[in-house]
A and B are shown apart, each in its own frame.
Chain A
């Protein structure tokens, strides 16, 4: 089993292993990454399940997320309170979904949530506009943005309801094989 660790109990580690795509070592490494964000907040032992939340400002300043235009959405989607403040569980969950091991459907589901800015379970035109704004450097004129949104809806909206449902989105993901390798944050 290697060196003894004092952060988690064996049961906790087992549970984490069963619920994420990580090995023990990676979980411990992620814990240390988490703790490094706020050493004064996070205790060195999680054996008694302390109720610790790291605010979004610190999460968003991680080098892995710092320059990501979607960092706030990612943090919101994965955090329990939906405001980007994360517990260790949320943190592990986030990197588990964004890891290499996560299957396409799971990734697609969370990507859908990330792009669904207004949380209405559909990617509608306003969501698309917001996504486009984040993806580009304000170089597109409003008409161009509008055109692109219409084109996207035109291409991917299979049931013609004017917005993208999860199924539409998954279908779209299948068309873009790079998604699997790009929706991935190396830790």
Chain B
């Protein structure tokens, strides 16, 4: 506490000095002072105003140099400087040790001593902390306002501001935004930084060219433009309000479904824009005449009128398009190929990027620590603004905590071998049943599709309605399978009685994904093997099938939310109260979205405008689900780790979903023969030969693009290139995995280090405490020894003089004193052993007590 002591001394000393008087001396008489004045010019101490506002007159003039009204009392300077240097050096030390909290605590103590009544300004932080906060690790409160900053700290602040001034505009603003202090202080720092930068920039403007000025202006307007764009983007940011309402009522878990939906919608918007602008718009210049009539059933079947529109592959031309005779040629084949390819590539990159980011955020420290208690503590959902939801969330948390506490007991509940085997058998059975069901469904769909296909092909001239109805059969069957088999799986899962609900959820998700993906796989087999070999314009046929699948899926998901949620809710509230309101089934709904998105991706090649349908579909689903959620559902009772699950769903979208689509489209493009009479690739062996033809054309005619030809021949067509690329990628992966291993080891060691450090600290503290106790007791002993000596001397003197009787003391005390003095004399005779004797210690203590009682009397 020397720290606070010195500070206190400092402030006291200032009280004695006549500070408010104007100075008579030249303030620049010493170089030291001059230096400080210079700093003052740079640093406008706004804190002065603040102090006047908060009204702490005793503290205003702690540092005379800061007082703009006057400076006096150079006499004080040396001592003043001393105290400052000690203070700052102490602080400095703490900073160097990087344990700023200790400094903080000291500082807090200092404040409380100085001004116990005044409210502590918690939010203001010292510069030390500000600097540390650059690293994002500062705790900003509890220190003093700037009026009380030491010289050292002000230096730090200046340095900090100088550092900020060196950064680029964006980085600087980011740093300032991330400081943990109030806006007022941020603004102050910002102003100071700008003051620092301002004159420099002006100078250069004058000195350097007008071009530079122009550049600055350009940069500035670019920044403005970006900001305005951001504002525009945010104003069209769809469903912000809806998301807020959903989050407020149902929490982050249900919200994650809707954000996922929105995310997919953006995907489709992008793919629609790219397809529409690069494939459809050029095709408009080469429109044929559409003879078919529009009846309305087409909306459901996608055939008929739609067959001869830009909607399907078959309509696109294989020729080069010219908008007018003088314009450049637009090669439709290449455009079609490259557009789909580029979209797939950008989708791939974006998916990998967002997946990696999500993994990075959510699985960053898996396995380092285990335990849920801490997680629960920071699990409060600040989104929730609904009273009921708050109650529910609280109940949830208490239940989870209780479960966690009972987990230990739960863990010890050993199952007998027989029970365990039985349990495994049940799980095995469930897996066999679910996989068997999946297989059965796939087989059924396959045979049904083939028989249905025969019906469609056999009587092309028969009445149209019947044919259209039979084309709708297959999507209908698929949708039925997708609707009811997951329900069966849920039932199966509840029969299995998993140990943890989490396991049940994962198993359910896996089974559903297996089902949906194998259904899509069977359909793809049907399209590529059965349809591609018999139908004349098979791509359009597949596109129509996909359209029907998307539409029926849409209808069934609407029906699902009607029956599964609306009817169920009515049943729960009116008929059977035990059921209650249904919960929003997040995994089932998200898997439905993934399935729909996979269909849309497959359809991209066969029906380039399918994303438009998908956009409309998702848009309607969003609103229907929202209304249904608001009207029928209750907030989920189960704990749901939203970001964790979102990552898993993203992964599912990527791994069986997107990669499967990529394989399928790759096979179609590289291996399958396009139909002879329709579509952009008619007449080619495989769609891919477009590119080789295109390269040939370039080689012959366009000379300045020869590098492209070279790239194509030497890189894309060269297996060696891929070989080398693969080896490099593998090497990098290996390197990174090694680095990760090293880091893991490092983390482990550091964690051990931290815990050892903690143990050391505890040990040292214990030792220090015991030492202190020992010290105190021995001091006491010494003290009482001294006292008793004096006391005895005193008594002896009294006895000798005998000029007056001790009237003020009562008799008992006198007797005690006699006893003690006797003992003391005894002890003094054998003084070396004094300390060991407990009785003597007691006596000493008694003597000390009496002495204390005597003192005031005398």
* Partner-B contacts on A (CB < 8 A): 1-2, 15-21, 23-26, 63-64, 66-70, 80-82, 89-90, 92-93, 96, 98, 102-103, 105-106, 109-113, 115, 119, 121, 128, 131-132, 135-137, 139-140, 144, 147-148, 151-152, 154-161, 165-167, 170-186
Report whether B387 and A67 are in contact in the complex, using a CB–CB cutoff of 8 Å.
yes
Interface centre among A154, A156, A178 (most CB of B within 10 A): A178
How far apart sit A154 and B243, CA to CA, in the bound complex (Å)?
37
The residues of B that contact A159 with a CB separation of less than 8 Å are 754-755, 757-758, 761
Report whether B234 and A66 are in contact in the complex, using a CB–CB cutoff of 8 Å.
no
The residues of B that contact A68 with a CB separation of less than 8 Å are 382, 384-385, 390
How far apart sit A174 and B375, CA to CA, in the bound complex (Å)?
9
Number of interchain pairs (Cβ within 8 Å) = 230
Given contacts A70-B380, A181-B643, contact A174 B391 (CB under 8 A): no
Q: Which of B17-25, B365-373, B669-677, B830-838 contacts A (4 or more CB under 8 A)?
A: B365-373
Q: Would you call B465 an interface residue if the criterion is a C-beta within 8 Å of the partner chain's C-beta atoms?
A: no
Report whether A136 and B385 are in contact in the complex, using a CB–CB cutoff of 8 Å.
no
Q: Please name the residue on chain A nearest to B643 by beta carbon.
A: A177
Given contacts A121-B142, A159-B761, A160-B758, contact A176 B243 (CB under 8 A): no
How far apart sit A68 and B401, CA to CA, in the bound complex (Å)?
20
Report whether A135 and B377 are in contact in the complex, using a CB–CB cutoff of 8 Å.
yes
How far apart sit A174 and B360, CA to CA, in the bound complex (Å)?
11
Report whether B759 and A165 are in contact in the complex, using a CB–CB cutoff of 8 Å.
no
Q: Would you call B579 an interface residue if the criterion is a C-beta within 8 Å of the partner chain's C-beta atoms?
A: no
Given contacts A103-B136, A179-B378, contact A23 B119 (CB under 8 A): no
* Partner-A contacts on B (CB < 8 A): 101, 104-105, 119-123, 136-142, 173, 176-178, 180, 182-184, 186-187, 190-191, 224, 227-228, 230-231, 234-235, 240, 243-244, 247-248, 252, 361-365, 368-371, 373-387, 389-391, 394-395, 397-398, 401-402, 404-405, 641-644, 751, 754-755, 757-759, 761-762
Report whether B190 and A19 are in contact in the complex, using a CB–CB cutoff of 8 Å.
yes
Min Cβ gap A53→B in Å is: 12
Main secondary structure of the interface of A (DSSP, over half): helix
Report whether A121 and B374 are in contact in the complex, using a CB–CB cutoff of 8 Å.
no
The residues of B that contact A151 with a CB separation of less than 8 Å are 371, 373, 404-405
Given contacts A119-B122, A152-B373, contact A19 B136 (CB under 8 A): no
Min Cβ gap B380→A in Å is: 6
The residues of B that contact A96 with a CB separation of less than 8 Å are 177, 183
How far apart sit A173 and B369, CA to CA, in the bound complex (Å)?
12
The residues of B that contact A171 with a CB separation of less than 8 Å are 365, 369
Interface centre among A132, A173, A175 (most CB of B within 10 A): A175
Q: Please name the residue on chain A nearest to B187 by beta carbon.
A: A15
Report whether A183 and B382 are in contact in the complex, using a CB–CB cutoff of 8 Å.
yes
Min Cβ gap A25→B in Å is: 5
The residues of A that contact B120 with a CB separation of less than 8 Å are 82
Supply 10 further A-B pairs (C-beta < 8 A) apart from A89-B184, A113-B139: A19-B186, A68-B382, A80-B123, A111-B378, A119-B142, A139-B395, A144-B405, A148-B404, A151-B371, A174-B364
Given contacts A159-B754, A177-B644, contact A137 B394 (CB under 8 A): yes
* Sample (8) of A-B pairs whose CB atoms are under 8 Å apart: A67-B387, A135-B394, A136-B398, A155-B370, A178-B644, A184-B383, A186-B244, A186-B383
Given contacts A152-B374, A179-B378, contact A19 B176 (CB under 8 A): yes
How far apart sit A98 and B377, CA to CA, in the bound complex (Å)?
18
Q: Which of A19, A121, A152, A180 contacts B377 (CB 8 A)?
A: A152
Min Cβ gap B161→A in Å is: 14
Report whether B394 and A136 are in contact in the complex, using a CB–CB cutoff of 8 Å.
yes
Min Cβ gap B411→A in Å is: 14
The residues of B that contact A161 with a CB separation of less than 8 Å are 758, 761-762
Given contacts A89-B183, A160-B755, contact A184 B402 (CB under 8 A): no
Report whether A140 and B398 are in contact in the complex, using a CB–CB cutoff of 8 Å.
yes
The residues of B that contact A2 with a CB separation of less than 8 Å are 228, 231
The residues of B that contact A109 with a CB separation of less than 8 Å are 136, 138-140, 180
Min Cβ gap A22→B in Å is: 10
Min Cβ gap B146→A in Å is: 14
Q: Please name the residue on chain B nearest to A183 by beta carbon.
A: B382
In the A-B complex, the 8 residue pairs with the smallest Cβ-Cβ separation, listed nearest first, are A159-B758, A160-B758, A105-B136, A136-B398, A177-B362, A155-B371, A19-B186, A89-B183
Q: Which of B104, B373, B643, B644 contacts A121 (CB 8 A)?
A: B104
The residues of A that contact B369 with a CB separation of less than 8 Å are 155-156, 171, 175
Report whether B378 and A172 are in contact in the complex, using a CB–CB cutoff of 8 Å.
yes
Given contacts A144-B405, A160-B758, A177-B362, contact A137 B395 (CB under 8 A): yes
Report whether A66 and B180 are in contact in the complex, using a CB–CB cutoff of 8 Å.
no
The residues of B that contact A170 with a CB separation of less than 8 Å are 137
Report whether B182 and A93 are in contact in the complex, using a CB–CB cutoff of 8 Å.
yes
Report whether B754 and A93 are in contact in the complex, using a CB–CB cutoff of 8 Å.
no
